[in-house]
Amino acid sequence: MDIINILQAQRNYFSTQQTKDISFRKECLKKLQKELIKREPAIIKALYDDFKKSEYEAVLTETSIVLSELKMTIDKLTSWAKPKSVLPSLLNFPSSAKIHKEPYGAVLVIAPWNYPHQLAFAPLIGAIAAGNTVVLKPSELTPNTSAITKQIIEAVFDKKQVAVIEGGVEVSTKLLAQRWDYIFFTGSVFVGKIVAKAAAEFLTPITLELGGKSPCIVDKTANIKLAAKRIVWGKFINGGQTCIAPDYLLIHASKKEEFVNYFKNELIKAYGENPETSTDFPRIVNLKNFNRLALMLENESFLTGGTTNKEDLFIAPTLIDEPSLNSEVMKGEIFGPILPVISYESEEEIDKLISKYDKPLAFYIFSTDKKITKKMIAKYSFGGGTINDTTVHFVNHRLPFGGVGESGIGSYHGKLTFETFSHSKGVVTKGNWLDLTIRYAPYTDKLKKLQALLKWT
């Protein structure tokens, strides 16, 4: 079946109302759960084959997240999908009011390569739970994970309910030329704008989960040793190819030397003297990204790292010392295991640098001064963040995950994923036992009464 036929089949299927039945949705999710558990070893292998992601990181950052979102969705779906009563408006007296959740219809999910399992399945689960049909396009840059994704979906669903369409830009472009009822895109800002334009053609609602240049500030009151350890982890997990990884480091000048010493120590503890031989350090996903990152290393001085191996797509965990703000590494999102270190003396310097870029997806500050952290959190706009750690706000499914400004539109995780893929319909049920005459014409002599009533509402 080609794209148009699949979409048509999904529209026909959606109109049968079957996906609107909550117990049917739950059954689908349970079948998916069984298949995902059965295929976990194959998923882990695919992730290794794609970019040497270790088994530990595959479980921690991919399969366990998907399985926990899935379990929670199965457990909570009945309550999430129930119409919710809200207080009625006095102006409608007598009445009751409810919010009904309904599926949008045919949903398109486009996934990136960097967490190719998690970022495909997490939105997919929410879209199915909300009662939509789904076409999922995984990334062409992680072909092994894309293939296993297709196998899993085909083992559980008929194409008329959920289909995986593999391919690159050409396929994506064809998909985006169709009319969808919702598009959920995770990827770069550049492609996000292409998606937004395509969606605008049909006024299709969208979620855009994008990237950006996420700052990490370490002030002079911070626990420097712990900060170094936590930044090593958050920056180099997944080989630095994480949308919410700290992109650049702003460190108080008085603490730079101490920080760098601890950082080097922590790096050795995590990946050994030669990270290339560590089984825990992933590779860059392809040559194009390797070349892009290698260019950032040219003409820079390193506090640690800086070595590369093109054949193996390896880039060492690297600290660049005080790069120029016009350098390659400070131009856009790095998305690799390179961390520029920039020292500051005053808050104005922090401000100048952060304001140079659009609103970031993530924001990190290491400080024990509560006044400072409170001020910074209030001052800057960003998708989400953590005080005294990196990336961990991601794991709390009670927090919205998403960007703002150029780092994205909309958010998801937990209940919010279900809500993202549901339209909220407000419905008032009016009582017939009383019909207040105040709203009806003629309005003569009624304005004063209306104004008195409005005071109560």
Decide: is 193 part of the binding site for ligand NAD (CB under 6 A): no
Q: Minimum distance between the CB of residue 405 and ligand NAD, rounded to whole angstroms? A: 12
* Cα–Cα distance measured from residue 401 to residue 25, given in angstroms and rounded to the nearest whole number: 24
In terms of DSSP bridges, do strands 384-387 and 362-366 run parallel, antiparallel, or are they unpaired? parallel
Contacts for 307 with CB less than 8 Å, ≥ 6 apart = 276, 315, 316
Decide: is 363 part of the binding site for ligand NAD (CB under 6 A): no
Decide: is 172 part of the binding site for ligand NAD (CB under 6 A): yes
Site string for ligand NAD, 271-310 (x = CB under 6 A): ----------------------------------------
| Residues 25 to 54 in contact with ligand NAD, rule: CB under 6 A | none
Among 239, 282, 337, 408, binds ligand NAD (CB under 6 A): 408
The answer to whether residue 243 is catalytic is yes
Site string for ligand NAD, 122-141 (x = CB under 6 A): ---------------x-xx-
Catalytic residue among 40, 62, 69, 209: 209
Locate the DSSP E strands across 188-292: 206-209, 215-218, 248-252
Exposure string (b/e) for 417-452, b if CB count within 10 Å is 16 or more? bbbbbbeeeeeeeeeeeeeeeeeeeeeeeeeeeeee
In terms of DSSP bridges, do strands 318-321 and 302-304 run parallel, antiparallel, or are they unpaired? antiparallel
- Between the CA of residue 12 and those of 5, 17, 135, 174, 181, what are the distances in Å? 10, 10, 14, 20, 14
Q: Minimum distance between the CB of residue 233 and ligand NAD, rounded to whole angstroms? A: 18
Decide: is 247 part of the binding site for ligand NAD (CB under 6 A): no
Q: Which lies closer to ligand NAD via its Cβ, residue 105 or residue 336?
A: 336
Catalytic residue among 216, 243, 328, 406: 243
Decide: is 404 part of the binding site for ligand NAD (CB under 6 A): no
The answer to whether residue 311 is catalytic is no
Exposure string (b/e) for 346-355, b if CB count within 10 Å is 16 or more? eeeebeebbe
Task: Tell me the number of residues near ligand NAD by CB under 6 A.
Answer: 28
| Cis peptide leading into residue 94 (ω within 30°) | yes
* Cα–Cα distance measured from residue 79 to residue 94, given in angstroms and rounded to the nearest whole number: 27
Pick the closest to residue 103 from 122, 84, 76, 130 (CA basis). 130
* Cα–Cα distance measured from residue 376 to residue 382, given in angstroms and rounded to the nearest whole number: 11
Pick the closest to residue 289 from 324, 357, 247, 241 (CA basis). 241
Written as six digits, the tokens of 219 are 């002030």
Among 169, 200, 253, 436, binds ligand NAD (CB under 6 A): 169
Decide: is 57 part of the binding site for ligand NAD (CB under 6 A): no
Q: Which lies closer to ligand NAD via its Cβ, residue 139 or residue 149?
A: 139
Decide: is 367 part of the binding site for ligand NAD (CB under 6 A): no
Residue number closest to ligand NAD, CB atom = 211
Size (the chain), residues: 457
Among 72, 97, 194, 196, binds ligand NAD (CB under 6 A): 194
Decide: is 238 part of the binding site for ligand NAD (CB under 6 A): no
Decide: is 110 part of the binding site for ligand NAD (CB under 6 A): yes
- Residues binding ligand NAD (CB under 6 A): 110-114, 119, 137, 139-140, 168-169, 172-173, 176, 186-188, 191, 194, 209-211, 243, 333, 335, 361, 403, 408
What is the set of active-site residues? Answer: 209, 243
